[in-house]
A and B are shown apart, each in its own frame.
Chain A
Amino acid sequence: MPKVTEDVVKRVAFLSRISLKDDEVSTFVSQFNSILDYFSIIASQDLPSPSPTDRLVDIRNVFRDDVVYVHDDDLSVIFPNKEGRYIKAPKIV
């Protein structure tokens, strides 16, 4: 059972792309540990590995025809940052 440290919280915050203030990090460390204790009830169970097809609805092969349907409205109205019809996003290099 892993003991959560600040490093672990920071790593998880990066994986989740959530920036945390310093006080948040320490709060989360203690909360994580109690939640992980709770999760360990499940982690410690002896259960067979599920198949990736395990679902609540047991169906197979639901397909859509290869037909084009044009969405009527101009969806660009919802874009927060635009340049012409492009979406503006932060630099990636």
Chain B
Amino acid sequence: MEAFSIADKVRRGELSAQEVMGKYIDLISRWEPKIHAFLYVDEKGALERARQIDDLVKKGIDPGRLAGVPIAVKDNIAVKGMPLTCASKILSGYVSPYDATVVSKLRQAGSIIVGKTNLDEFAMGSSTEYSAFGPTRNPWDLERVPGGSSGGSGAAVASGEVPIALGSDTGGSVRCPASFTGVYGFKPTYGLVSRYGLVAFSNSIEVIGGFSTTAKDMELLFSVIRNSDAPDPMDQTSVFSGPTSFPGLRGMRVGLLKETVGEGAEPEVVKATYAFAEALREAGALVDEVSIPDLSLALPAYYLLTSAEASSNLARYDGIRYGMPCPLDAKDWNEAYSKVRGEGFGPEVKRRIMMGSFALSSGYYDAYYLKAVAARSKIRQEMLKVLNDFQFLIGPTNPTTAPKLGERITDPLSMYLLDLDTVPVNLAGIPALSIPFGKSSSGMPIGVQLMSSPLRDDWVIKAAEELEAMGRVEMASKVATVE
């Protein structure tokens, strides 16, 4: 059932939030043994909150626009009273003592946080295989990955365990799982959603994003979590912009990024992208091919930049103040820190931290880190330039559909290649939506990407709503079903 309908009916008293929650908890218990989307489920708390919502409605008090809607939150976003593991051993035992801003907003809107979902450790990965607590499986094919790093949230929504979920997107971590699991995944403009409470990995580009099964639900979810009337005082890099009305797809100029449908993209994915272009044309948009050659710099620049920032943002994990305890019997603090971090971090995280330290170190800072920032700047400039002429850009979300578990995990670079089409968006800071658009011949969902200029988040979601209303969005099927 869609979030929009649940909220609507609960607010009217037509539907009991407790009944709704009961049904979703049941679904979770049936799917979890197969897909392991959740790291933590708060059944008791969720039902209690649902009871409170029903109470409010009985008293004639409006619980909010997401009244009674269950939501899953990626386990790198702080929910007070729930563990915050980031799928890492180094944070085992840590329970967040505060709520992320987006979580406060969700609570105020009446949404009920059911639990925390699985991810690649500290959001570094594209398949959720780098979780220290075991991978999540794709509901469409349990031998395949759900994508990453927000694989748990994608799988939870795709399987129907929850109608909506939160994730984070640094290089495609919301859009990739959305595309691999056949749901919508939205990455907002950088700064438009408060980052306070998002565990930092690459703080200059990462954002909190959302998962849903319909574009309308995405609009609702986004309207709750965005900075709606002022920047968040808890996040001094946050911005707000008023709602922008979307004039409709007719006459809109859309650019299909040539570099994303060339070599490296699977034929069926390319085909789906062209079909998407056709759908847009049928809605009255003008679609042309456009080329941004420097997009080839995006992936290496992304990995350089984010590794450098990761080495800094993850320096704080030393077992002194929280998490896996720092041993007190080592020779000195350096040895103690090295021990707990050596044991607490997984191989991909260690790899990126070390590469990042290297890129920032004296003698290499100019050649590596500064060049990566310069490359980001260049890519941003070029995409914004193109977005002067085109109101939207499109392309596939990923060059492939979901790989099998274990397929790419031994070769880090091959894993990185999954992000080819999503990463330029993060470097440019622009909004992008992954829209489910059909299935491959092996039955796996394909996602296509709709991008626009900074702060045109409303346009992107509304454009998808328009396509959806016209029946032009090819869902793999509404949600994956068990049995």
Contacts and interface: CB of A to CB of B under 8 A. Distances in A.
Do A and B touch directly, given a CB cutoff of 8 Å in the complex? yes
Contacts, number: 164
Output the residue of A89, A90, A92, A93 with the most chain B CB within 10 A: A90
A76 B167 CA distance: 29
B311 interface: yes
A90 B297 contact: no
Interface residues of A, number: 51
B355 A32 contact: yes
B297 A13 contact: no
B216 to A, nearest CB: 28
Nearest to B342: A19
21 contacts: A12-B361, A17-B338, A20-B350, A32-B355, A35-B303, A36-B355, A39-B300, A41-B300, A42-B297, A42-B375, A45-B297, A47-B375, A49-B370, A55-B237, A56-B204, A56-B429, A78-B97, A80-B326, A81-B320, A90-B330, A92-B332
Contacts of A3: none
B354 A80 contact: no
A87 interface: yes
Nearest to B343: A19
B168 to A, nearest CB: 15
Contacts of A62: 231, 236-237
A47 B455 CA distance: 28
B134 interface: no
Given A17-B337, A42-B301, A87-B320, 16 more contacts: A12-B361, A13-B354, A28-B350, A32-B355, A38-B300, A39-B368, A45-B297, A50-B373, A56-B380, A64-B236, A77-B97, A78-B97, A80-B325, A89-B328, A90-B335, A93-B332
A18 B354 contact: yes
Contact of A35 (B341, B364, B412): B412
A38 B367 CA distance: 13
B322 A42 contact: no
A70 interface: no
Contact of A80 (B319, B337, B378): B319
Interface in B185-202: 190-191
A8 B363 CA distance: 13
* Top 4 closest pairs, chain A to chain B, by CB: A19-B342, A80-B325, A56-B429, A47-B374
Nearest to B298: A42
Interface of A: 2, 8-9, 12-21, 24, 28, 31-32, 34-36, 38-39, 41-43, 45, 47-50, 54-57, 59, 62, 64, 73, 75, 77-81, 87-93
A59 B190 CA distance: 12
Contacts of A47: 371, 374-375, 378
Contacts of A32: 354-355, 358
A90 B354 contact: no
Given A56-B205, A64-B233, A89 B326 contact: yes
